[in-house]
Structure 1
Amino acid sequence: MKVDILAIGAHPDDAELGCGGTLAKMISEGKKVAIVDLTQGELGTRGTNVTRAQEAASASEILGISARENLKMKDGFILNSEEYQIQIVKMIRKYQPEIVLANAVDDRHPDHAKAAKLVSDACFLSGLVKIETELDGEHQKQWRPKQVFHYIQWKNITPDFVIDISNFMEKKIEACLAYKTQFYDPDSKEPMTPIATKDFLESLTYRAQDLGRLSGVEFAEGFTTEKLLAFKNFDGIIL
């Protein structure tokens, strides 16, 4: 199944946190979106890999995701290895996205930056005809996305551009809160973590609001780009 956008995250909930509003907006405009989670998040302090899978399914339904897969790489130990690269190449060739959205290039969790580089390299390798892959017994054709963008996560990285998500902020929060075990719940008896605090939950709104303030919209999500972007014209730019 070909999609327009493939969002890849080291853990279930990375895509929702980093670019959930953008995904919801693109889907509302008729774009097909898929998500690939690299790990099951099994090292997370709260919840289990089973609950995370259930929560990911709920979040996908909220956003309207066309397909979602988990590659079950080893949480906490993502490597930019040939084995992991080929797994991602297979997903890129399966879904043939025009755009790939990947983890932040620098972040608090070491898996995020590692996944950013891993996905970037896999996107390039996926376009090489001499790298042969099969999926479900069928030969795959080479495919290279037109763009690889990295969403922003814990750290305040200066974005190269932002997407206006003013009408989709509530949808993003709803999708994030589908991960009930992970985020703020005053009644939870599980250990506290940095992302389970009330401040972190509130930061999703005020950080998007601040990017909106800087760009002249109500809420925005920021991205970095691996190469210089060229615009055909000024249509679509919010002035």
Structure 2
Amino acid sequence: MKIDVLAIGAHPDDIELGCGGTVAKLVAQGKMVAFLDLTQGELGTRGTSETRREEAASAVKVLGVNHRVNLNLPDGFLENTRDYQLKIVEQIRYFKPDIVLANAIDDRHPDHSKASKLVSDACFLSGLPKVITHSNDSVQNPWRPKRVFNYIQWKELEPDFVVDISEYMEVKIKACLAYKTQFYDPASKEPETPIATKDFLESLTYRAQNLGRLSGCNYAEGFTTDKLLALKNFDGIIL
């Protein structure tokens, strides 16, 4: 399979929260996007692995994404190990993305920064012919994504660039709210968590609005990158 973008998250809902608007925009532009969740989010205070799985399936329907894979790695205990790297390499070589979107390089949840480095290393290793992986009993060909971009999560990191999601903000919020057990619900009897507050839900909008204010659009999502970006021309820049 050949896709354009592989979005990877340590937990179900990371992608929707971090870059759901960008994904919705890519899909609307006809790009092929797939999701890869590293864990089931089974250590989350609210909900269960089963509810997270159902919610994740609902969220991709909202965004128009057809492929979502979960590696079932241990929530809370992600490490940059050879075994975990190879599991991700297998998915990269299967999907053959040009761009990978990954967790924040620094964040409140330790899994996020760990996943960032784990994915970055896997993307590099995926391009090495002597790293052998298999799919359906066949040896996979090497494949290295052209770019890895890290979305921004809990912490207010300085973005290297932003994507205008003005037309897709409502879709992003709808996809996030597909995770009914995780986010603000005044009728819920479950314990309150930092992401289950009304303020956190409202922050999805006002943080995107602030990035939009700074960059000349209504709403935007920010990304960081460890490589200098070059523009072919000025088309597409908001002036």
Cα distance between partner residues in 1 of 2:164 and 2:136: 39
> Does 1:212 find its partner at 2:233?
no
The offset of 1:47, in angstroms, is 0.2
> Counterpart amino acid of 2:205?
T
**3-state secondary structure, aligned to 1:57:** helix
Task: Kindly report the root-mean-square deviation, in angstroms, between the aligned alpha carbons of the 2 structures.
Answer: 0.4
Cα distance between partner residues in 1 of 2:20 and 2:124: 25
Cα distance between partner residues in 2 of 1:136 and 1:70: 17
The offset of 1:196, in angstroms, is 0.2
The offset of 1:52, in angstroms, is 0.2
Gaps of 5+ in 2: none
Gaps of 5+ in 1: none
- TM-score with structure 1 setting the length: 0.99
Cα distance between partner residues in 1 of 2:174 and 2:154: 19
> Does 1:111 find its partner at 2:115?
no
- Equivalences for residues 11-26 of structure 1 within 5 A: 11-26=11-26
**Structure 2 partner of 1:199:** 199
Give structure 1 regions of 4+ aligned residues with deviation exceeding 6 angstroms: none
**Structure 1 partner of 2:133:** 133
> Does 1:66 find its partner at 2:66?
yes
Cα distance between partner residues in 2 of 1:139 and 1:68: 23
**3-state secondary structure, aligned to 2:35:** strand
Cα distance between partner residues in 2 of 1:12 and 1:222: 19
**Structure 2 partner of 1:182:** 182
- TM-score with structure 2 setting the length: 0.99
Number of corresponding residues: 239
The offset of 1:66, in angstroms, is 2.2
Cα distance between partner residues in 1 of 2:56 and 2:136: 24
**Structure 2 partner of 1:100:** 100
> Counterpart amino acid of 1:7?
A
**Structure 2 partner of 1:88:** 88
Q: Percent identity?
A: 71
Cα distance between partner residues in 2 of 1:31 and 1:84: 28
The offset of 1:235, in angstroms, is 1.1
